[in-house]
Amino acid sequence: MRASLIVGLALALGACGSAPKKGGYYKDDGPHERPPAGLDAVADANPRIEPLHRYANRPYSVFGKDYRPLSAVQPFRQRGMASWYGKRFHGQKTSSGEPYDMYSMTAAHPTLPIPSYARVTNLANGRSVVVRINDRGPFHAGRVIDLSYVAAYKLGYIAAGSAQVEVEAIVPGAQRSL
């Protein structure tokens, strides 16, 4: 049953909140009519050592592609297209079993451990945020990470729907390289 839940979530996330390349929102997955005030003040996720999820880090397949999540929090760097997901998935369970909160600093990644942390930098404007990886996705070709609404907002690409980013895993307790 747990495997079918993960596959179901993966399929849902494959079509989630990712806006088309021309901007706009995927289906009805934009922001709420009145997003809460103070989104600029939402703090980055606070990296800490956490036990890895027992089930969310097992190998899985989505749309005929096999994924093998990393089995440990370790250095990792990747560049590619980021998208975001919003109200359509707000409150639904993530791969970690936690409810998705579009106003918290979280993200979905196909292979980073759950939970883990990553610094995501918008390459067009240099803005950077720290998110907690608690979900799987995106499963669209060329996309490397799906951010929560507030994380994408802080990176400045809500209206565009996607942005070129660099994703860098954060290893709690390790010094960040310059």
Q: Which two tokens stand for residue 19?
A: 């806006």
Quick one: pLDDT at residue 176? 53
> Could you report the average pLDDT of every consecutive run of 10 residues in the chain (178 residues)?
41 40 48 71 96 95 96 97 80 87 94 98 98 94 93 93 96 67
Per-residue pLDDT tens digits for 72-109: 999 999 999 999 987 667 567 999 999 989 899 999 99
Quick one: pLDDT at residue 165? 98
Q: Are 149 and 84 in contact (CB under 8 A)?
A: yes
Dump the DSSP string for 130-153: EEEEEE----STTEEEEEEHHHHH
Q: Which two tokens stand for residue 149?
A: 């609404």
Quick one: pLDDT at residue 3? 41
In the chain, the amino acid numbered 147 is L
Query: How far apart, in whole angstroms, are the C-alpha atoms of residue 8 and residue 145?
Result: 18
Dump the DSSP string for 92-107: SB-TTSSBP-TTSSEE
Full-model pTM: 0.80
Quick one: pLDDT at residue 91? 67
**Number of other CB atoms surrounding residue 48 within 10 Å:** 11
